[in-house]
Structure 1
């Protein structure tokens, strides 16, 4: 995919010998349109280590957070006695090295190591006539190792778009902790208890790992 983009756009890449920006900050378009499993609210950054060389090396960083709280027992007009909280956090660091530099266009390889934590917490309060009391909690931790092939095209002096593909391996640890009682009548009670941990390793190729719109300065 990236090689096709490079072949079709190589003639558009004019040499530019002006000032070389060292810092870069941007957003991942895949997260903005909910096509990425990472938190929707995230920011991406790069720092060039050797701006005066032809083929540059850069450090990479991405941070993301997302959270939602619904205190139904306190605020909801249609109260059913359920408080719900969800939150997630992601951080990744890495490095990249240009293989080909054509002025305003470049092709690079690199690697990222990422940590991702997610929690969904439900508290059944039993208030307002709701017949469930207890909790239902889900927590997940992921570690991600990604090899990257990327293409960057600079737009003017300070803006750029980057498309990245990756071959990655993910480790996932998922914990479910559930303990609640459902009361359908004085004589009919159902107790639900679940406490389990699942560990998953998976690998695969992601053709669109990140689509980045960034500002260089």
Structure 2
């Protein structure tokens, strides 16, 4: 399975914050074209709020993530909403059930023949909240001399992502939160080269529940 191509490890602590080149501020993903923010001082671009799954609402609630469909031209310039956590009111600012989005940070110019290693960040939160899904990775990439692409994402948590019952088993999908994570890994394999990343050099990094999630992916689908 494709996960054998990943070099994966888990962190139990939170993150610390004359060649042919081409810009990456606009990326055509096939199903949508996204325009991100250019970070001139850092020579980077950030793409915020790229949809990787259809809204998991209505009859898609408690089910595996579905393809996002055709979206046309989209701005990727503001952080997306985070998934609802346990105990949060439905009107909590910055939270939504429609939360299957990812962010990509990448150098704004990249050698046309170079593929950069990719860091996929799985945030923690005890499987009950999204604690760091909108981490600003610009300084992290700067520390690598702009030789890395960074991906972070939201995934369903609490009852939306990990509710277990016979009813869900009969008419739904168990552990959709983990299935959201796998959808991102598949998305990376398909699209990360368009940001200058190497789909064969992907590191999965997690903190807390994110670290546990990394272990589950290593145990699933043949490793």
TM-score clears 0.5: no
TM-score range normalised by the length of the shorter chain: 0.3 to 0.5
TM-score normalised per structure 2 = 0.32
Q: Structure 1 or 2: larger helix share? A: 2
Which structure's relative contact order is higher, taking Cα pairs within 8 Å and 6+ residues apart?
2
TM-score normalised per structure 1 = 0.33
